[in-house]
Amino acid sequence: MGKITLGFFLILFFGCKNFETKRVCSEEILQDELKQIDWNAIETYPTFANCEKYTESEQQDCFEQTFSKHIYAFLATKKVVLSDSINEKIWLHLSINSEGKPSLDSVHLSQTLVDNLPKFKTWLDSSVISLPKIYPARKRGIPVATNFKLPLRIESE
């Protein structure tokens, strides 16, 4: 009986070391997760209401097309008389904050556009402000701010 008790205590004593648990601080888990996140990529592209029916891969195209159509429709309402024809491509630097509010960060206009359309930048600002409701991009289910660089073709005859 003594040998059995001694054997039981030896197994219990040496066996408990194998059942040791390592304590992991929640701060360490958080730091590991933060290292794994790609902060330059978004999981869900910003969308307009009419784009939500599409798959995630199609939403980016829908967003860009809806954005462009709105800008072109807004600019088409402006009555302009030009002495020269214009055929230029400009880049709009657009931000959408985490609430879905768009803003035009910058646009680089050629001297030809500035000379022929002095109010063009103001029109672009107004058209961006008048965009329909935008649902912001998401990262891990959380709304995040995003920046875009979108082309815009300006042509006149």
Same domain, 116 and 73: yes
Would residue 85 count as lying in a domain?
yes
Same domain, 52 and 95: yes
Same domain, 124 and 59: yes
Number of folded domains in the chain? 2
Same domain, 20 and 59: no
Distance CA 108, CA 130 (A): 21
CB contact set of 75 (below 8 Å; sequence gap of 6+):
123, 127
**pLDDT digits (tens), the chain, 157 positions:** 667 776 666 666 666 555 556 666 777 776 776 666 665 667 788 899 898 888 877 888 898 899 989 988 998 888 877 777 778 888 989 999 999 999 999 988 888 888 888 888 999 999 999 999 999 988 878 898 989 888 888 887 6
Would residue 139 count as lying in a domain?
yes
Report the pLDDT value the prediction gives residue 82, as an integer from 0 to 100: 72
Same domain, 18 and 59: no
Report the pLDDT value the prediction gives residue 101, as an integer from 0 to 100: 94
Same domain, 83 and 28: no
Same domain, 73 and 110: yes
Same domain, 26 and 95: no
Q: Cβ-count burial of 97 within 10 angstroms (0-12 exposed, 13-18 middle, 19+ buried)? A: middle
Report the pLDDT value the prediction gives residue 126, as an integer from 0 to 100: 92
Would residue 144 count as lying in a domain?
yes
Same domain, 125 and 68: yes
Same domain, 53 and 14: no
Nearest residue to 90 via CA among 76, 72, 66: 72
Report the pLDDT value the prediction gives residue 78, as an integer from 0 to 100: 83
Same domain, 54 and 123: yes
Would residue 58 count as lying in a domain?
yes
Instruction: State the residue range of the domain holding 9.
Output: 2-36
Would residue 42 count as lying in a domain?
no
Same domain, 53 and 121: yes
